[in-house]
Amino acid sequence: MPVEPQRVKGDVVFVPDVHVPGEDPDAIEWALKEIQARRPAALVFLGDLVDAYHVSGFDHFPVGWTFGEELAKAGRLLQRFKAAMGTRPIWVLEGNHDFRPAKQLVRRVPGLAEIGVGSLRSLLKLNEMGFRWVAGERGFELNGVRVLHGVYARKWSGNSVRAHLEKLRWRQPVVMGHCHRLALVHDRTVWGMECGWLGLRDHPAMDYEWEDDWAQGLGILQADGQPQILRRELVMS
């Protein structure tokens, strides 16, 4: 069901793909400190909170965790961000990895999928925890900006959000995750922002190749409507 356009007064922080259990603990600590220092009016997780490796359609290799443990870890991570935000609203968008459990049900037991049994909202009891769930590819509108996980993942920073802007015919600013890149794209009064990711470079959950321009960071929608990206500098050993 589509989410009605939302408005908040103040800054909004966008948390990009985390891919639990492949999250980078140092990046999570950095993000929490930024949120505590900035005290934003709202927080949005841009999707792919979990990796859902065990329920993907790809070949599986032995790994050191179960899907249940992955969900429990994601729940604990969400509680930490909830503690940092207090009563201020937090939206959680559905990413393509988050959709993996429901996708398996759609293929095998569609009746259960229809009532949301396999959705991350149901598996993590997000409503009961006080989070606002947003399903589907369209995301939702917040302070006049289209906020979504993202469908297109193009090579090189800026190209993914540019594809979404072109889909919208450059009529509305766009904030997205999905591509693991940081970028701001401007065209006159319309802009697009890619918010990076918070995952580890090397983790069994990351069953795809690291791209050289992937970057850890956060996105900010300032109270005056201007976008800002925060880059976490990595120290490579």
80-131: per-residue pLDDT in tens? 999 999 999 999 999 999 988 877 766 665 555 555 566 889 999 999 999 9
The pLDDT assigned to 3 comes to 83
pLDDT (tens, 9 = 90+) of the chain, 237 residues, equals 678 999 999 999 999 999 999 999 999 999 999 999 999 999 999 999 999 888 776 655 556 788 899 999 999 999 999 999 999 999 999 999 998 887 776 666 555 555 556 688 999 999 999 999 999 999 999 999 999 999 999 999 999 999 999 998 889 999 999 999 999 999 878 999 999 999 987 776 665 666 788 999 999 999 999 999 999 986 554
| Structure confidence at residue 134 (pLDDT) | 96
Residue 3 lies in a domain: no
The verdict on pTM exceeding 0.75 is yes
Q: What is the pLDDT of residue 43?
A: 98
**Backbone phi, psi, residue 12, to 5°:** -120, 135
182 is a domain residue: yes
- Position 21 in a domain: yes
pLDDT score at 83 = 97
Number of folded domains in the chain?
A: 1
Got the DSSP string for 177-227?
-SS--EEEEEETTEEEEEE-B-B-SS-TT--SPPPTT--BEEEEE-TTS-E
3-state secondary structure 18-39: CCECCECHHHHHHHHHHHHHHC
CATH number of the CATH domain containing 21? 3.60.21.10
| Segments forming the whole domain that contains residue 43 | 12-231
Question: Which phi-psi region, left, alpha or beta, contains residue 104 (left: φ > 0; alpha: ψ -120 to 50)?
Answer: alpha
Q: Is residue 237 part of a domain?
A: no
For residue 6, being part of any structural domain is answered with no
> Is there a domain that residue 59 lies in?
yes
How far is the C-alpha of 91 from the C-alpha of 126, rounded, in Å?
Answer: 10
Residue 236 lies in a domain: no
Tell whether 2 is covered by a domain.
no
From CA 144, how far away is CA 122, in angstroms rounded? Answer: 28
